[in-house]
Amino acid sequence: MHAETGNAISIRFALPSAELAPYVTTYYYTEVVASPSEPVLEDYLHPEWPNLRFMEQAGWAHSAIGDAPVVPTPAVSATGPTSLATRFRISSGRSWGIGLMPLGWAAFIDGHASDYADTVSDAMADSAFAAFHALGLELTGALAEGGGDYGEELAIIERHMDALVPSEGPATAAIAAISAALVDPELATVAELADRVAMNIRSLERLTKRAFGFTPKLLLRRQRFLRSLSQFMLDPSLKWLSTLDYHYHDQAHFVRDFKRFMGMSPSTYAALDKPFLVAAARARMAIAGEAVQGLHDPAASES
């Protein structure tokens, strides 16, 4: 476990057990102590895989995906896979999160990922997330008590998640193979992906929409973008040209993707304060080997 601490922010990441590594990216804890002069902190979250978040109380955070209006976040929220930036605002408080791999979504969530893509749901009010309802009650209760014991709260999550380890379903191997292929920077086209996982393109599209939330074409485009963005997040002093994934034809190509996924130009993003994301990227890199969740490789984190 590792903490990356700013003036008022502490972020810690922990890896799941080996049995859960194909299903869960990380568990993560955030604590904010906002100053009176700046009672609300704001940042933008890049596109990523699904996440469950558990907060002290509803409304501690406010968020919006893409062009949606900023609204209060439920105490237990489920964010589907995203292809757009999430704008969020947080005041003083504490929260926990569980990042899910596409295989975790398929195993634990009773719904197609495409139906929840680029949305935030009240997990306690949606039966699709029933596997996490008991954890939501226990963990939000622990957060509300205010003891702030990181180890005890992490143990609550680990006990619950260890009890969820699933038996392998018929699509398990295919979803795992697609996940492994998507983190390979050499992979460039849908045809290559289909060949890599030994599926025809129509079947591949059906499976990625169900478990990953998006078409293979958009997933490959998102991965290419995230590889470039992650380099900048680890070292914001870099020029964008030095971070570009080699699959980009030129800088204009990258700028188009940046606007598609983040809703702003690279220069606008570079000028923003990033009180959470830069610290989180470094802390996540130290624990999981990648700065952003969308590039998480379970096989690498096991070694």
| pLDDT tens-place values along the chain, 303 residues long | 334 444 578 999 999 999 999 999 999 999 998 888 888 999 999 999 999 999 988 888 999 999 999 999 999 999 999 999 999 999 999 999 999 999 999 999 999 999 999 999 999 999 999 999 999 999 999 999 877 799 999 999 999 999 998 877 778 999 999 999 999 999 999 999 999 999 999 999 999 999 999 999 999 999 999 988 888 777 777 676 666 766 777 888 989 999 999 999 999 998 998 888 888 888 899 999 988 999 899 887 554
Nearest partner of 27 among 112, 114, 126, 135, judged by Cα: 135
Beta bridge partners of residue 10, listed in sequence order: 5, 31
Q: What is the pLDDT of residue 240?
A: 66
CATH of domain 172-271: 1.10.10.60
What is the amino acid identity at position 81? P
Nearest partner of 214 among 100, 118, 122, judged by Cα: 118
Q: What is the pTM of this model?
A: 0.93
All CATH 1.10.10.60 domain ranges of the chain, comma separated, are: 172-271
Phi, psi of 154 (to 5 degrees): -60, -40
CA distance 295 to 120: 21
The separation between CA 94 and the C-alpha centre of its own chain, rounded to angstroms, equals: 18
Angle at which helix 201-211 crosses helix 216-234, to 10 degrees, equals 50
Q: Other CB atoms closer than 10 Å to residue 163's CB: what's the count?
A: 10
All CATH 2.60.120.10 domain ranges of the chain, comma separated, are: 2-167
The full length of the chain comes to 303
CA distance 269 to 296: 23
Give the class (CATH, top level) of 2-167.
mainly beta
Nearest partner of 261 among 217, 226, 230, 213, judged by Cα: 226
What is the amino acid identity at position 185? P
